[in-house]
Chains A and B, each alone.
Chain A
Amino acid sequence: MMWLLLVVVVIAGLWMVGAYNGLISLKNQTVNAFKQIDVQLKRRHDLIPNLVNAVKGAMNFERATLEAVVQARNQAVKVNASGPEAMKQISQAENALSGALTRLLAVVERYPDLKATGNIGQLQEELTSTENRIAFARQLYNDTATQYNTKQQQFPTTLVTGIANAAPAELWEIEEQAERAVPQVDLSGR
């Protein structure tokens, strides 16, 4: 009888170690995935001034669009909050920047002869890629965080959630209703 109890205790102990390590690993993956978003956002901030300079000459007639991009970028760089509100602020500023860039891309689409110039073609590719990178980084973060959250809440693992100091990770989502809407593009010409 005694040894049976011992076996049960040992098995329970081993399982706890496994579950604990699994949670910790997921937690660190989530943190890492979040940092990846930061890396990609930083990359975008660094890229925009160069891009805008490169196309300034060719796009003289679309000053306003370019200025909106630069402004949104500067706004996003300025956000340096920390704490629970940080994520909301960052995502707001970055979403505004994404919106400005989408409008810039739409404008480029509007002038086919503009696309023919090498600079603009590259600009388009770089912008698409930059937006994709950020989107994919967020996707990875959300996937990892969801996995982490699910693990914490599922039955046997939920017993060690407290010991592993695991708390549900917040998902990255679009905050404002306006951002959710498809950006309106006026294609009627000038």
Chain B
Amino acid sequence: MIGFVLFFAWLGFGGDLIFYLSTARETPWENEHYRHVVPWFGIALTLIGMIVARYAYRTGPQKVLWATGAREVSDPSNDGERQLVNVVEEMAIAAGLPRPRIWIIPDDDPNALATGHDPRDSHVAVTRGLLAVCNRDELQGVIGHELGHIKNLDVRLMTTLAALVGAVALISDGIGRGLGRGRFGRAGGGGGGGRKGGAGAIILVLLVVWLISWMLAPTITQVLAIAVNRGREYLADAMSAQFTRNPLALVSALEKIEGAGAPTTAIKRGTAHLCIVDPLGRRLGRREGWLANRLATHPPISMRIARLKGMGYAQVKKEGGLTV
């Protein structure tokens, strides 16, 4: 969050600095020439950054849920929904958290996601497909995973990131194109007029770095989302095992989810990292390796299953040891 605002500040103040340097080099007798002293762009962009971050933080959960077309289960009307509500309440008890609000996403592909700010204000959404394929124990494992995210406060980070990824893409597309073109022309003219080669080079380097930051802004936020997500999935899996004491149920749930081929169409790229398994990059998620490891928002499912099975066998061994 702070990084995001700082990044915006760099985008703004960096631009100002370049502009300032390029105009300051102008010969003083050209009094009518505009000198860029007050860093208006920096102030404005920092403010925009802060407002966007604040806005993204506050409305993130609603946006995510709205984007998936989820509907809240307030009054369970059939056996499946009743079971879902019961399972969520049980897991909330096991995790020692208040009960999150429950949503169902009208999609036949099995998947689940959690969002919210903190445990007091959190949401768990599952797809219709998940309710159809999973039995009670498996559902428990999946919900336990999502509550693990909530308990670790992952949801706050991930939801804010989801909203920011969208916002940055929008802003960099809009403002970046408009401002970048206009100022590049002017700054380039100023730099060309400068007599000192050294200063010109500094300006040029700054300009290039600054422009690259602008171009990379959307990618950077995406990479951030990916980087943040690795490891947290493993942790949430482990917490699910801690809550249910039944890691093998989550294993069979993951296997079932992976087995279902169709991508989750209701879940867009921006919210992909919120889900229990990547709704889009299934092909990447299956393969292991350097590239796949770095490009997927989720660790490979086979790795997650292997780790969970490890926990399961350790548990069986321990229990067996107790009775002997």
Task: List residues of chain A with CB under 8 Å of any chain B CB.
Answer: 29, 32-33, 36, 40, 121-122, 125-126, 128-129, 132-133, 136-137, 139-140, 143-144
Q: Is the interface of B mostly helix, strand, loop or mixed?
A: helix
A108 to B: closest C-beta gap in Å: 15
- Known A-B contacts: A126-B86, A137-B93. Give 5 more (CB < 8 A): A122-B79, A125-B82, A132-B86, A133-B89, A140-B93
Given contacts A136-B243, A139-B245, contact A125 B86 (CB under 8 A): yes
- Chosen A-B contacts, 19 in total, with CB atoms closer than 8 Å, are A33-B96, A36-B93, A122-B79, A125-B82, A125-B83, A125-B86, A126-B86, A128-B86, A128-B136, A129-B87, A129-B89, A132-B86, A132-B90, A133-B89, A136-B93, A136-B243, A140-B93, A140-B94, A140-B96
CA of A184 to CA of B96 in the docked complex: distance in angstroms? 33
CB closest residue in chain B, given A118? B79
Closest to A121 in B: B79
Q: Could you tell me which B residues sit within 8 Å of A by CB distance? A: 79, 82-83, 86-87, 89-91, 93-96, 136, 242-243, 245
Whole-angstrom CA separation of A117 from B274 in the bound complex: 39
Beyond A33-B96, A144-B96, whether A136 also contacts B91 by CB under 8 A is yes
Q: Which of B86, B94, B96, B245 contacts A129 (CB 8 A)?
A: B86
Contacts of B245 in A (CB 8 A): 139
Shortest CB-to-CB span from A101 to chain B, Å, is 15
Collect the chain B residues with CB atoms within 8 Å of residue A137's CB.
Answer: 93-94
Shortest beta-carbon distance, B45 to chain A, in Å?
A: 40
B195 to chain A, nearest CB (A): 57
User: Within 8 Å CB of B82, what residues of A?
Assistant: 122, 125
CA distance A143 to B94 in the complex (A): 10
Measured between alpha carbons, how far is A29 from B95 in the docked complex, in Å? 12
> What separation, in Å, do the CA atoms of A126 and B89 have in the docked complex?
12
Q: What is the CB-to-nearest-CB distance from A152 to chain B, in angstroms, rounded to a whole number?
A: 20
Give the residues in chain A near B93, CB-CB below 8 Å.
Answer: 36, 40, 133, 136-137, 140
* Complex Cα gap A126–B91 (Å): 15
Residue of A nearest to B243 (CB): A136
Q: How far is the CA of A136 from the CA of B143 in the complex (A)?
A: 14
Q: Once the chains bind, are B94 and A136 in contact (CB under 8 Å)? A: yes
